[in-house]
């Protein structure tokens, strides 16, 4: 029963100083593959190096919408170079990219421009994207439609409505399910998660962020993905082996990961 963590920041030394140990614990917990999304250009080197060195790690470099002050025009050129070509060292996606309207102080016009520029790079490279979206699902959906983005991807840590999820699914996106569903108070996303078609769901931790209910006050860890699986299976009234099977199959299909 191989689990796939489609969104985990295991490459961040500040949070995972004992990288080898953290990876070993994740693997012991059944997590066979982990996708490492990027945040800033400064982290791409380590991110891709780890993916090239370790079996089962896959890179998704990108420029996060909340860190505009860290991004510069030439970083887009570097991203374009990074995703061209082929081979085992090629990223599996561009991420995490998108729009974040939760933090009102971050320039929305600049976010939009950065998002569209990275969508263009992904489209040219034929790569899916990992979407970071907070309080901006309608704006992101409108952008995807207007740009005719046809390579899909994953909506990371989805927190929207059932209708919004269905719109993403129609555009070829999977819905990322993480620790939020382990909280009883998260009634809306728990209900949405229980209703979505099984071929749209993938698992994630977003470690070290979004700690699970049983680990409040701790840093999140990819080894806890099995607990996300158990919560999802319980919400949907399924055997966890079945839930593990289709979520991993969905991740492989959407991101082009090997079996």
Quickly list DSSP for 17-61: SSHHHHHHHHHHTTEEEEEEE--SGGGHHHHHHHHHHSTTEEEE-
Q: Return the pLDDT at 180.
A: 98
CATH class of this structure's domain 3-255: alpha beta
State the Cα–Cα distance between residues 161 and 169, nearest whole angstrom.
12
Q: Give the model confidence (pLDDT) of 147-206 as tens digits.
A: 999 999 999 999 999 999 999 999 999 999 999 999 999 999 999 999 999 999 999 999
Using alpha carbons, select from 75, 63, 73, 57 the residue that is nearest to residue 10. 57
What is the rounded average pLDDT of the residues 75-97? 90
What is the rounded average pLDDT of the residues 87-113? 93
Domain positions in the chain: 3-255
Q: Return the pLDDT at 225.
A: 98
Q: Return the pLDDT at 88.
A: 66
Higher pLDDT residue, 89 or 237?
237
Q: Is 84 left (phi over 0), alpha (psi -120 to 50) or beta?
A: beta
Sheet of strand 129-134: strand arrangement:
94-100, 129-134, 153-156, 173-177, 201-203
Predicted TM-score (pTM) of this structure: 0.97
Q: Return the pLDDT at 86.
A: 67
Q: Return the pLDDT at 208.
A: 98
Under the banding of pLDDT at 50, 70 and 90, the label for residue 84 is confident
Q: Return the pLDDT at 128.
A: 98
User: Quick one: what percent of the chain has pLDDT higher than 90?
Assistant: 97
Residue 85 has pLDDT above 90, yes or no: no
Handedness of CA 113, 118, 119, 120 (dihedral sign): positive
Q: Which two tokens stand for residue 169?
A: 């699914």
Q: Return the pLDDT at 1.
A: 83
Q: Return the pLDDT at 87.
A: 66
Q: Give the model confidence (pLDDT) of 112-125 as tens digits.
A: 999 999 999 999 99
Mean pLDDT, all residues of the chain: 97
Residue 17 has pLDDT above 80, yes or no: yes
């Amino acid at each position: 029963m191989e689990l796939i963590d489609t969104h985990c920041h295991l490459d961040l030394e500040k949070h995972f100083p004992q990288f080898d140990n953290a990876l070993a614990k994740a693997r012991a917990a059944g997590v066979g593959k982990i996708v490492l999304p990027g945040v800033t250009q400064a982290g791409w080197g380590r991110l891709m190096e780890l993916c090239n060195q370790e079996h089962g790690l896959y890179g998704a470099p990108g420029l996060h919408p909340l860190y505009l002050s860290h991004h510069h025009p030439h970083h887009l050129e570097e991203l374009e170079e990074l995703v061209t070509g082929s081979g085992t060292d090629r990223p599996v996606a561009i991420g995490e990219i998108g729009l974040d309207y939760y933090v009102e102080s971050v320039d929305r016009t600049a976010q939009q421009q950065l998002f569209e520029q990275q969508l263009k790079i992904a489209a040219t490279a034929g790569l899916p994207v990992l979407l970071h979206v907070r309080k901006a699902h309608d704006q992101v959906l409108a952008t995807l439609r207007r740009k005719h983005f046809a390579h899909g991807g994953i909506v990371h840590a989805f927190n929207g409505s059932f209708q919004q999820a269905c719109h993403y699914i129609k555009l070829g996106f999977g819905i990322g399910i993480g620790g939020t569903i382990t909280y009883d108070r998260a009634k809306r996303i728990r209900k949405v998660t229980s209703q979505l078609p099984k071929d749209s769901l993938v698992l994630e931790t977003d470690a070290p962020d979004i700690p699970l209910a049983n680990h409040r006050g701790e840093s999140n860890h990819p080894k806890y993905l099995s607990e996300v699986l158990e919560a999802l299976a319980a919400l949907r009234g399924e055997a966890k082996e079945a839930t593990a099977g289709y979520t991993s199959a969905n991740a492989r299909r959407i991101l082009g990961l090997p079996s």
